Amino acid sequence: MQTKRAPIREIIGWAMFDFANSSYTTVIITVVFSVIFTKLIVVDQTGFSPGTLKNGEVSFTLPERVEEKTQCQEEGLITGCELEHLQKLSNANKISLVITPTTDGTNLNRATVRLSDAGDTETQSKVREIMGDYKEGNLWWSIALSLSYLLVVITAPIFGAIMDYSASKKKFLFASYSITIVFTALLYFVHPGAIYLGVALVLLSNFGFAVGESFVSSFLPDLGPPEDLGKISGYAWGLGYFGGLASTIIVTLLGAKTVGNFNNLLFVGPITAIFFMIAAIPTFLFVKERGVSKPLPPGSTYLTIGFKRLGQTFRELKDFRDLAVFMISFFFAYSGLAIVISFAFIYGAQEIHWSGQTEIMMFIITQFTAAGGAVLFGFIQDKIGAIKTFNITLVIWVIGVLLIFGTKEFTVFLNNVLGHATPESMWKAEHVFLFVGCVAGLCLGATQSASRALVGVFSPESKSGEFFGFWGLFGKLAAIFGLLILGVLQTQLGLKTAILVCSVFFLTALIITLFVNEKRGIAAAKEHEGE
């Protein structure tokens, strides 16, 4: 176990990988490509793709309207206010609109929309937003990410054991880095309707990114003594959010996420890949491989050695009881985090119906609060311990998810309390959602950073690759579990109600951590050092 801190150049080099790979998770998974995929690439259930309306015409049943018509203006609602939005387009001579009663006894109306100009892609996009049912796109997105995490689950622990035995952490990290770059760049070829190609490329690029998280994290125990790992992990995670901010600012120069601008949006993948490639170079220049490769016994391969080391670790799990219990807690915590990371901006687009300006503001706010939260909680962790810090973030997450669910209702409540009666003075749901972003952003990096540091202090250096492989395994199993649960729930309940499952996950994780003894876990790591 390290007794002194590594040179600052090496720590910065290691942190730069967080800066680099945040470009992928922010641009591709959270903010930009996730919305492009679910809204523009996947053909929706109404029978037309984002590229064309059938013969310039489409019919669909209007959902039940909101009780108070004024809510459509006050909150900018689309769900329940579809008719008002369609009438605006009709009044502007963008579409012809015919409303007829349905014949199924539901007392709902059916709208038939015909574009005034069949080539008007901007109006086409607006009609799709009003009528669009994005549940199919959301489900495909969940499937793509879940399959990629399944690959990580199958491979990460074996790769970790092999890395430790052969002292080849940097080689494995470079391989994952290369996979991410190549398949992210190939997203250029994903056009509207190319669902299977999009799923395949997201699966492979996210596999490279996700398995690389475990590889780079395995260097953490080499960078300082246990009492410094919280700060080091927090610095790196905080720096990562600025990488996400910088890369997303560059990508937003491509323009709006609309059908008419799709040719520009094709460059989202290549730009992200180039950013990742360049920003991670310091990691490979400055981070040292401290392990010593062990000779292979006669008749053995690195693969068989990997399985043998895994078997030994499973047999010794009773000695790493606190790490094992924490991994179960982390499983539930990351189930919630995976949903937030993958669906936060999808939720903003589909449920809050925010403007492009608010979307940009939300992104900037969450990057700064997440960076500040990661660094702040890194200091707190070194003062009060990793478990207590982790638990504080979970409590904040439970509150944050409840605020996400109730944003619209909270907006109405605030307007009533403050006496905002005119459209000019009323707060909009999208603006209140910005406040929610501050709460969520504060713990977005802190929860993950605290978990990474805790695994670091519970891991003997000689098993760090293997144990961080398990960390990756539990995290990706959690992501599969969380995303599939959310994907199924939102098809039955809608995205707004389904998001509440995150609070259940965070609360479960909080209860489980009550059975983790941090001091005992650190002692176990020292006892098994050198094995």
pLDDT in tens, 28-42: 988 889 888 987 888
Instruction: Reply yes or no on whether the pLDDT at 135 is more than 60.
Output: yes
End-of-domain residue from the set 131, 155, 174: 131
60 phi, psi to nearest 5 deg? -160, 155
Q: Which domain holds residue 168?
A: 8-42+134-527
Is the same domain home to 21 and 168?
A: yes
The listed range with the strongest mean pLDDT (68-82, 439-453, 495-509) is: 495-509
pLDDT in tens, 212-259: 988 888 888 788 777 777 778 878 878 888 898 899 899 989 988 777
In a domain, 48, yes or no: no
What Cα–Cα distance (Å) separates residue 4 from each residue in 8, 11, 225? 12, 12, 6
Residue with tokens 């398995």: 211
Higher pLDDT, 411 or 102: 411
Beta carbons of 235 and 15 less than 8 angstroms apart:
yes
End-of-domain residue from the set 102, 131, 160: 131
Write the CATH number for 72.
Answer: 3.30.70
pLDDT value of position 62:
62
pLDDT in tens, 251-299: 989 988 777 788 999 999 999 999 999 999 999 999 988 777 777 777 6
pLDDT value of position 69:
47
pLDDT in tens, 201-210: 999 999 999 8
Instruction: Reply yes or no on whether the pLDDT at 186 is more than 80.
Output: yes
pLDDT value of position 511:
95
pLDDT value of position 68:
46
Confidence band for 76, pLDDT divided at 50, 70 and 90: very low
Is the same domain home to 229 and 80?
A: no
Beta carbons of 474 and 330 less than 8 angstroms apart:
yes
In a domain, 515, yes or no: yes
In degrees to the nearest 10, what's the CA dihedral of 283, 289, 290, 292? 170
> Could you give the maximum distance between any two Cα atoms of the chain, in Å?
81
Residue 296, token pair as written in the block: 């292979």
C-alpha–C-alpha distance, residues 4 and 232, integer Å: 13
Is the same domain home to 27 and 59?
A: no
User: By CB neighbour count within 10 A (0-12 exposed, 13-18 middle, 19+ buried), where does 398 fall?
Assistant: middle
pLDDT value of position 102:
60
End-of-domain residue from the set 116, 131, 146: 131
CA angle 270, 272, 273 (to 5 degrees): 65
In a domain, 169, yes or no: yes
Write the CATH number for 330.
Answer: 1.20.1250.20
Higher pLDDT, 69 or 150: 150
Is the same domain home to 32 and 64?
A: no
pLDDT value of position 149:
82
In a domain, 49, yes or no: no
Residues 6+ positions from 20 with CB-CB distance below 8 Å: 243, 275, 276, 278, 279, 280, 283
In a domain, 115, yes or no: yes
% of the chain beyond a pLDDT of 90: 23
Is the same domain home to 88 and 143?
A: no
pLDDT value of position 372:
82
C-alpha–C-alpha distance, residues 155 and 160, integer Å: 9
Beta carbons of 319 and 529 less than 8 angstroms apart:
no
pLDDT value of position 310:
66
In a domain, 326, yes or no: yes
Is the same domain home to 471 and 491?
A: yes
Asked which of 109-118, 275-284, 393-402 is least confident by mean pLDDT, the reply is 109-118
Kindly write down the DSSP assignment for every residue of 505-528, as one continuous string.
Answer: HHHHHHHHGGG--HHHHHHHHHHT
In a domain, 412, yes or no: yes
Is the same domain home to 83 and 164?
A: no
Instruction: Reply yes or no on whether the pLDDT at 49 is more than 70.
Output: no
Is the same domain home to 90 and 166?
A: no
Is the same domain home to 149 and 255?
A: yes
Higher pLDDT, 199 or 213: 199
Beta carbons of 164 and 464 less than 8 angstroms apart:
yes
User: What secondary structure letter does DSSP report for 350?
Assistant: I
Higher pLDDT, 303 or 207: 207
C-alpha–C-alpha distance, residues 401 and 399, integer Å: 6
Count CB atoms within 10 A of the CB of residue 202.
27
* Residue type at 496 in one-letter notation: K
Is the same domain home to 337 and 398?
A: yes
Residue with tokens 């999808």: 346
C-alpha–C-alpha distance, residues 202 and 328, integer Å: 27
For the residues 322-331, what does the mean pLDDT come to?
89
In a domain, 428, yes or no: yes
Is the same domain home to 216 and 315?
A: yes
Helix (H, G, I), strand (E, B) or coil at 420: coil
Domains in the chain: how many in total?
Answer: 2
Is the same domain home to 201 and 163?
A: yes
**Model-level pTM?**
0.69
C-alpha–C-alpha distance, residues 55 and 234, integer Å: 55
Instruction: Reply yes or no on whether the pLDDT at 515 is more than 80.
Output: yes
